Amino acid sequence: MKKAMLCIWAMFAVLLPMASLAEDCWVVSNIQGYSAYADQGYRFQKDGIQNNILICFTSDGGTVTGTDMRFVKFGKSTLVGYGGNDKGNETLEVYQLDRQKRKLLYTKCRIGTKTVMPILSDVVCSYVGDATKFDK
């Protein structure tokens, strides 16, 4: 129990400086859904994300922990990010916050993955997570 609390405090110590620059931040947990990998014939399977994420909407876009992708904000509750390289890797991520139901909808499509990491696969995935307002 002490170890878990220490991990939680450490996570927020790292995330707090990022959140202080933001207008509207949410901690997302219990991220579950489905993914389909090219190496497995694009058959959908249950999947999820183990770690919590912090998503922040700012006046000029937003940030999401775990990625260095640049995001464009559409409306009040949608972030869209694109990343890639000049060798064919292309990634598109969409994060949408359902503020009334306190859920985060997350989709990702990635092709050309082997140009970055040969052991990984191209993928498409869709997840839903529980969103809690992060008050500084």
Q: What is the CATH number of the domain that holds 15?
A: 2.40.160
Question: Tell me: the pLDDT tens digits for 75-95?
Answer: 999 999 999 988 899 999 999
Which residues form the domain of 115? 2-133
Question: Tell me: the pLDDT tens digits for 102-130?
Answer: 999 999 999 999 988 999 999 999 999 99
The conformation of residue 39, written as its DSSP 8-state character, comes to G
Give how many domains the chain has, as a whole number.
1
Question: Tell me: the pLDDT tens digits for 17-43?
Answer: 444 455 899 999 999 999 999 999 999
pLDDT of residue 21: 53
Kindly report the pTM of this predicted structure: 0.81
Is the pLDDT at 62 greater than 50? The verdict is yes
Is the pLDDT at 56 greater than 50? The verdict is yes
Q: Who wins on pLDDT, 35 or 14?
A: 35
pLDDT band at 68 (very low <50, low <70, confident <90, very high): confident
Q: By percentage, how much of the chain surpasses pLDDT 70?
A: 83
